């Protein structure tokens, strides 16, 4: 990969990081403020094999959603599925009824604000099978019981959705 074939962002950070965007295969690199460009170029060059593998995966994946007609149509499909799953799992898990919404999210399938009892679900879930959407619903509801990803959280997941690990792996493409 040519050393200048990426977008560089400098930030207050400790290590160099790299991502490859789904749909486009664009390579983005974040680097500490004072790291010399030649060091960043050499680091990117050393990752050429990994970049090509990630690019082939990224180009095979659909482009990330953006606001517009496609997103609106997917939102109309996803909302009833989420409503049904949340309504089914709230009493099973014994958690208070949360508020929830569907958002375009770039790096997460969902999020939970335990104090506000609100959940956010990624619109990208509309492109996934129902059993994977169910995993995300249970995962976010479990955060109403255990806020972090500690042993207690995983115990909740094991108790309510014993095959959650295989669903997570499938959802994340592993």
- What is the pTM (predicted TM-score) of this model? 0.75
pLDDT at residue 66, rounded to an integer: 86
Question: From first to last of its 174 residues, what are the pLDDT tens digits of the chain?
Answer: 555 689 999 999 999 999 988 778 889 999 999 999 999 999 999 999 999 999 888 888 777 788 999 999 999 999 999 999 999 999 999 999 999 999 999 889 999 999 999 999 999 999 999 999 999 999 999 999 998 999 999 999 999 999 999 999 999 886
Catalogue the E-assigned strands of the chain: 7-11, 17-20, 27-32, 99-103, 110-113, 118-122
CB count within 10 Å of CB 5 equals 11
pLDDT at residue 92, rounded to an integer: 96
Residue the block writes with tokens 């059993």: 131
* Burial of 4 from C-beta contacts in 10 A (0-12 / 13-18 / 19+): exposed
Residues near 149 by beta carbon (within 8 Å), at least 6 away in sequence: none
The C-alpha angle with vertex 121 and arms to 134 and 108, in degrees rounded to 5, equals: 100
| Domains present along the chain, CATH in parentheses | 7-60 (no CATH), 69-171 (3.30.2010.10)
CB count within 10 Å of CB 123 equals 20
pLDDT at residue 1, rounded to an integer: 52
């Amino acid at each position: 990969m040519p050393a200048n074939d990426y977008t560089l962002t400098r930030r207050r950070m400790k290590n160099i990081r790299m991502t490859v965007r789904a749909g486009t295969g664009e390579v983005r690199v974040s680097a500490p403020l004072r790291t010399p460009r030649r060091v960043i170029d050499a680091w990117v060059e050393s990752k050429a094999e990994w970049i090509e593998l990630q690019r082939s995966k990224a180009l095979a994946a659909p482009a990330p959603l953006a606001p517009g007609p496609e997103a609106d149509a997917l939102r109309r499909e996803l909302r009833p599925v989420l409503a049904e799953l949340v309504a089914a799992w709230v009493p099973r898990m014994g958690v208070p009824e949360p508020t929830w919404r569907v958002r375009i999210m770039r790096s997460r399938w969902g999020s939970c604000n335990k104090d506000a009892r609100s959940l956010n679900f990624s619109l990208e879930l509309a492109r996934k099978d129902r059993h994977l959407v169910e995993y995300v619903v249970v995962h976010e509801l479990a955060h109403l019981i255990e806020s972090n990803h500690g042993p207690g959280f995983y115990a909740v997941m094991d108790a309510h959705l014993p095959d959650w690990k295989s669903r997570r792996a499938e959802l994340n493409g592993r």
